[in-house]
Amino acid sequence: METEKRTQTTAEQITDRDLSEQIKKVTKESHVRAENTELMLSFQRGQVTLQQYKLLLSSLYEIYQVLEEELDRNSNHPGVAPIYFPAELARLEAIEKDLEYFYGQDWRERIVVPAATKRYCHRLRQIGAENPEFLVAHAYTRYLGDLSGGQVLGRIAQKSMGLKSSDGLSFFAFPGVSSPNLFKQLYRSRMNSVELTEEERNGVLEEAVRAFEFNIQVFDDLQKMLNVTEIQNCSTLSKPVKMPQIPGNMTKTTPLLRMVLGLFVALATVSMGIYAF
């Protein structure tokens, strides 16, 4: 509620009528927060792990599946038609290809997504049915964000994960876009051509902030999932060392044998201690 009020206030202060510029202004703070999530910082530092990337791809698959379904279903809507570029921007097939590369043909049964991803998808279905013009906010946030950082992030991911080829990195490639900069100019001009009432425009601006918030929540939840996995792996590797047990009947032997056995246990204890570090 507080976020929505802040967005409305900001939107009222903007005099520039270009929708793309208005979205850029109202989401400036959220954009910075998204870039500073632990997951995104891993990309920026060139330290993204294979597990991080696989979890991210799994969530992106769910998000893009719903987003592109709703864009397809509303492709003739006046608020969607101008920014509908499936041949140039569609990500779903590329993500499916990457997931199959990492998980195998049964990847659909193996991927997991956090609750934040499901909430994001629910919202996309809701506005697709009730306010299709709001889809422009999510399409702009996701597609232009991926297009802007695609090539750079793809190279970072490839180097960080030690991949020898571009296999598994199809998500970052936009073969239908010859010039990302020129295409982004075209996309923004199409956005600005969408005819909206004042109420609809404010709704789109609020939805743009909400889109960033959903992405931040997804990034944070994915990192939490990764942290839990790492803790479980550490627990599995930290099993206590079992000391040799002396059968009861062996202790009922001569004093000399008991002394020899005691010395053996002492030596074994020292050896285990050394190799435990």
**Which residues participate in the annotated binding site for heme b?**
24, 31, 140, 188
CA–CA dist 260, 148 (Å, integer): 73
**CA separation for the pair 258, 277 (Å, rounded):** 30
b/e burial code for range 65-81 (CB count within 10 A of at least 16 → b): bbbbebbeebeebebbe
Q: Which amino acid is at 201?
A: R
Angstrom distance (rounded) from CA 142 to CA 71? 13
Report d(CA 263, CA 259) in Å as an integer: 6
Contacts of 250 (CB under 8 A, 6+ apart): 257, 261
CB count, 10 Å around CB of 103?
16
Amino acid code (one letter) for 120: Y
Q: Which residues participate in the annotated binding site?
A: 24, 31, 140, 188
How many angstroms separate the CA atoms of 216 and 144, rounded?
A: 16
Classified as helix, coil or strand, 77 is coil
